[in-house]
Every structure is written in C-alpha cells, then in structure tokens.
Amino acid sequence: MLKLDHVEKNYNDFHLNCSLEVHTDMVTGLIGANGAGKSTTFKAILGLINIDGGSITIFDKDARKLTLEDKEDIGVVLSEGTLSGYLNVKQGISILASMYRRFDRERFTEQCQRFQIPLDKLIKDFSTGMRAKLKLLIATSYGAKLLILDEPTAGLDVMAREELLDMLRDYMETEGRAVLISSHISTDLEGFCDDIYMIHKGEIVLHEDMDTILDTYGILKVSEEQYKHLDTSLLLYRRKESFGYKCVTGQKEYYMENYPDLVVEKGSIDELVTIMEKGEAL
C-alpha cells in the first residue's frame, strides 16, 4: 500500500535515507528518538516537503502523481497542525463535507459527542487531549484506506490513549486498510503494531515484526568481566553503564541457554530506542 525506496532529504545537519513498506491489513510503527527523522519521513510521504532522492509509492502509484480521489483514501494526523485554530468543529464539518465525498457527517458528530469534543468552541482553545482526539476523528471520518499518523497520542493521558487506540482497532476491523503510526510511547506501539521500523539519525536501523521483537529480542545486563567472555556475534547494540554494559540481542534464547548466570530481560521498545540512541552498533 505504501513503499518508500531510499527516500532522501537533506537539511544542513541532517540526512534522511529511509526505506520502508506498509502492507494492507497491517499496522506499521515507526519509532525513534526526537529528531531521528520520523516527522520528516511522514512529511515526505504526504508531499509536504520535496525529497532529494528515492521514490515514494502509494497505492502502487508515484506519490507525486496521486489524484485528488487518491488523497481521499489517505487519513492524516500530523504532530503539528489540524484544521485552522480560528474555526470551530461545526465549521470544520462543513469544510470536510465539501472536501471528502465519503465524509460521514452524522457519525462524525456522534463521535465528537462521544469523545466530548465541543462543536462551537474555537479549535485554538482546545486542550491537547481534545485536539488529539479531533485529529484522529477527522482522519477516520471518511473511510480512508491508509492512515498516516504522526504522534497521534502525544500529550494524552493513559485513558485517552486507550480510547484512541480502541478507535484505531475498530478502524482496522474493516479489511483492506493499513496504518503507519509513530509514537514515542512504546506501549502504544507494542500493543497495536504488527510491524516495527526503528529510525536513528535518518536511517532505518531495525525492521522486525512486533512479535519477533517481543519474543526474541532481549536486553543483556553484563559486567565488564562478563562482557569479555561473551559471544558478541549475536549482539546488535551495546551501551556503557556503571555496572558494565547493556546489550541488545535478537537471539535472547541463545544467551539464556548458554549463559545462565546473565541477566536477560525481555525486549522492550523503550530499551531498544534508548540503547540505540545512547549506545553503539556492534
């Protein structure tokens, strides 16, 4: 449904070189630290910035050649920006109804009531939570096949995040849809994504399905002495700690079986991001 092939974007001190694929009926997560290139990747996909190299294919078409009808099949949440803050939701509804042929006015209004989004209040006066809910409601209001969601849960409390993720799960109940989502809250992605890409300094450094990460990836906590005698061929990253090293492996079973004295913890996205960001690749 979506394919990025060596998409490049150069800024003064940043270089993006990103390849990824989003398949139908799958939820793909893009994770990385702040400034890793997530938003740049999303903007490139949506044609908001010009790319310096590579290609982007959406619905098997060059992204630059998408028709307006094709754009109606893409639902978007940007980390910054939604309908103008000087509009209220009622006015937004009339705009969306004119822009999207499949916009479901009744359902959207019902959802606004359900999520306690005021219809008459200016959007600029919304709280972070209200704004986040509105963004996602808009993205899912016209039956788009592909959702591109950049930090849709940012600034939300646990309850609100669960509500939004439930909304997305409902959305994925319909066949033929796909989601590309970024979030800095790993638990959101762990419980929702089928596939994960990890981006670091503009490069995709890891691509695995979520189950593999949770089942086979592990964090080893080793002293310097233990590290000296460790088989490092199956280690991916390491980070220096006061006690020695924290290492990431994609074969935790191997280390659990062969080094029973080692502390091997279950892989978590948070740990992976931290070790990648602060540590070094092996």
Partner 1 sequence: MKGLLIKDTHLAMFNKKIYIIFAFVACIMLVSTDFGESTAASDFIIGYFCFLFGMLVLTTITYDEFDHSISFLMTMPISRHTYVLEKYVFCFLGTLSGWILAVVLATGRMLVAGLPFAAGEWISGCIGVLLAIFMIMLVLIPLQIKFGSDNGKGVIMGVMIAFFVVFGLGKKVCDWLGIDIEGNLQYLINQLAIIPAWLIVVAVAVIYLAGIGISAAVSMRIVDKKQY
Q: Which is nearer to partner 1, 93 or 167 (CB)?
A: 93
3-class secondary structure, 214: helix
Q: Which is nearer to partner 1, 76 or 276 (CB)?
A: 76
Contacts of partner 1 in 34-63 (CB under 8 A): 43, 46-50
3-class secondary structure, 224: helix
Q: Which is nearer to partner 1, 46 or 198 (CB)?
A: 46
Distance CA 83, CA 15 (A): 30
Task: Report the residue from 114, 124, 228, 240 that binds partner 1 according to the rule CB under 8 A.
Answer: 124
Interface stretch with partner 1, choices 69-77, 111-119, 160-168, 242-250 (CB under 8 A): 69-77
Task: Report the residue from 1, 18, 31, 74 that binds partner 1 according to the rule CB under 8 A.
Answer: 74
Residue 196 CB neighbours (<10 A): 23
Beta strands at 203-209 and 195-200: parallel, antiparallel or unpaired: antiparallel
Asked if 120 interacts with partner 1 (CB under 8 A), we say: no
Distances (CA, A) of 83 to 71, 77, 135, 252: 17, 11, 8, 46
Task: Report the residue from 17, 19, 91, 226 that binds partner 1 according to the rule CB under 8 A.
Answer: 91
> Would you tell me the crossing angle of helices 128-139 and 89-99 to the nearest 10 degrees?
20
- Per the listing, tokens 């600034």 go with 155
Question: How many residues contact partner 1, by CB under 8 A?
Answer: 29
Tokens (6 digits) for 109:
């209004």
Asked if 85 interacts with partner 1 (CB under 8 A), we say: yes
Asked if 161 interacts with partner 1 (CB under 8 A), we say: no
Could you list the residues that contact partner 1 (CB under 8 A)? 43, 46-50, 68-69, 71-72, 74, 76, 78, 80-87, 91, 94-96, 98-100, 124
